[in-house]
Amino acid sequence: MTTVRNPILPGCHPDPSICRVGDTYYLVTSTFEYLPGLPVFRSHDLATWEQVGHVVDRPGQLDYAGIASSGGLYAPTLRHHGGLFWLVCTLVDQDDDARGGNFLMTAEDAAGPWSDPVWLGVSGIDPSIFFDDDGRAWVHGTRLARDPEWFHQTEVWVRELDLERRTLVGPEHVVWTGALKGAVWAEGPHLYKVDGTYYLLAAEGGTEIHHAVSVARADVITGPYEGNKGNPVLTHRDLGRGADVVGVGHADLVRTPDGDWWAVLLGMRPYGGYHYNLGRETFLVPVSWEDGWPVFAPGTARVTPTVDVPTAGPPPAGGAGVGDASGVVPSGDLRWTAVRALPEDVAVRRDEGWVLPLRPATLADVDVPSFVGLRQQHRDVDVRAVLEAAPGPGQEVGLAVRQSEQHHVLLHVTGDQDGRSAGRRRAVAVRVAGSERTVLGEVPLQGDSDRVTLTVSARGQDYALGVQEEGRSPVLVATADGRWLDSVTTGGFLGLWIGVYATSGGRPSTSTATVVRVEYVPLD
Active-site residue set: 15, 187
Pairwise CA distance, residues 103 & 124, whole Å: 11
**Phi, psi dihedral angles at 487 (to 5 degrees):** -70, -20
Residues contacting residue 420 through CB under 8 Å, at least 6 positions apart? none
- Helix H or strand E segment including 345: helix 343-346
Pairwise CA distance, residues 488 & 510, whole Å: 39
Pairwise CA distance, residues 281 & 389, whole Å: 35
User: How far, in Å, are 328, 349, 445, 451 from residue 517 at the CA level?
Assistant: 7, 11, 20, 11
Nearest alpha-carbon partner for 503 in 403, 408, 422: 408
**Residue 508 — left, alpha, or beta (φ > 0 → left; ψ -120 to 50 → alpha)?**
beta
Strand partners for 360 = none
Contact (CB, 8 A) for 457 and 474: no
| CB-CB neighbours of 464 under 10 Å | 18
**Phi, psi dihedral angles at 207 (to 5 degrees):** -85, 45
**Residue 305 — left, alpha, or beta (φ > 0 → left; ψ -120 to 50 → alpha)?**
alpha
| CB-CB neighbours of 284 under 10 Å | 25
Instruction: Report cis status (omega within 30 of 0) of the bond before 39.
Output: no
